Amino acid sequence: MLPFKREKNISPKQMSVKAKPRAKSKARPKTFGVILAFLAFMIVSFCADFWQTAEDNFLTLSQEISGKTDEVLRLSGCSLDKVFIKGLKHTDKQDVIRTLQLKNGMLLTKIDVNLLQSKIEAMPWIESAVVQRLFPDTIKIDVVEHTPIALWQKKGHYYVITAKGIVLGKDAGIYGLEDLPVIVGDEAPSKTPELLSLLMQNNELFARLKGATFVGKRRWDIFLDSLDKGLVIKLPENGVETALRRLKMLQENYAILKRKLTLIDLRLPLKLIVRL
């Protein structure tokens, strides 16, 4: 029988100390992770440099091709040589060309017709415009100008009133429009087209019209022959068309517009007031 050898008792604390791994075993995973991170960084840097170089080369090639294309188009005659503008009456053609910044030799494919349209429609007299490129060398512009029907007098200045009741700015000018009737009164421009449309139904009345005042933003006084020494006709606030038909009947039957009168008051439907 073999002799039994009794081992010494080992406490749990002593066992845990013995079970600890050696310090050298921890260094290997850390070193390996650092190497992997470094390799990943090098790969990402290489790929970034590669794509940046490729992109730069592509842009350079694209620009070179674009430049060659432009040169080919220019040599083939696709550059601006003529500008045709139709519909101008109150706007100078050279003012349009300067506003659009058009110059001979500009490559037609580089001209933005939508931008040209917005620029020309911003000019004072232009109501609408259509711009076209006609290859190989032409820009064609069709414009519709505002139709002037009267001049609005406000604070010593005159502004053009259009057929749509729009007031054009000072830049539009009134050159050549001095014979248009002069309109006075706040909010008068928007009411002017309707008034003139009614007055045009009486040819003699309209031919002698010099101006009108929108009184109290409610009704009209119209002036024939002169703004200060002519015949004044007072129209009612309501029923203007009826009052003008009445005036036309008085003219046909009694030649009232040919009499030496300074005032005809039509504001009362059943009463006529005149002044010598």
CATH value at residue 162: 3.40.50.11690
The reply to whether 228 and 121 lie within a common domain is: no
Cβ neighbours of residue 227 closer than 8 Å, sequence gap 6 or more: 182, 210, 211
pLDDT, tens digit (0-9, with 9 covering 90-100), for 119-163:
999 999 999 999 999 998 999 999 999 999 999 999 989 999 999
Number of domains in the chain: 2
Indicate whether 169 belongs to any domain. yes
Per-residue model confidence (pLDDT) at position 172? 84
Indicate whether 18 belongs to any domain. no
The reply to whether 155 and 255 lie within a common domain is: yes
Rounded CA-CA distance 221/135 in Å is: 56
Per-residue model confidence (pLDDT) at position 4? 39
Cβ neighbours of residue 176 closer than 8 Å, sequence gap 6 or more: 90
Rounded CA-CA distance 54/57 in Å is: 5
Please, which pLDDT band fits residue 14 given cuts at 50, 70 and 90?
very low
Whether residue 199 is predicted with pLDDT greater than 80 in this model: the reply is: yes
Asked if omega into 136 is within 30° of 0 (cis), the reply is: yes
Contacts 24+ apart (CB under 8 A), 34-42: none
pLDDT, tens digit (0-9, with 9 covering 90-100), for 23-75:
444 445 556 565 666 566 556 555 555 555 545 554 454 444 445 454 554 54
Indicate whether 117 belongs to any domain. yes
Q: What is the mean pLDDT of residues 78-107?
A: 92
Q: What is the mean pLDDT of residues 201-209?
A: 93
- Structural domain containing residue 188: 148-275
Q: Which of 145, 174, 198 is the last residue of a domain?
A: 145
Indicate whether 21 belongs to any domain. no
| H or E element in which residue 130 lies | strand 126-134
Report the DSSP pairing between strands 157-162 and 231-234: unpaired
Q: Which of 101, 116, 145 is the last residue of a domain?
A: 145
The reply to whether 103 and 172 lie within a common domain is: no
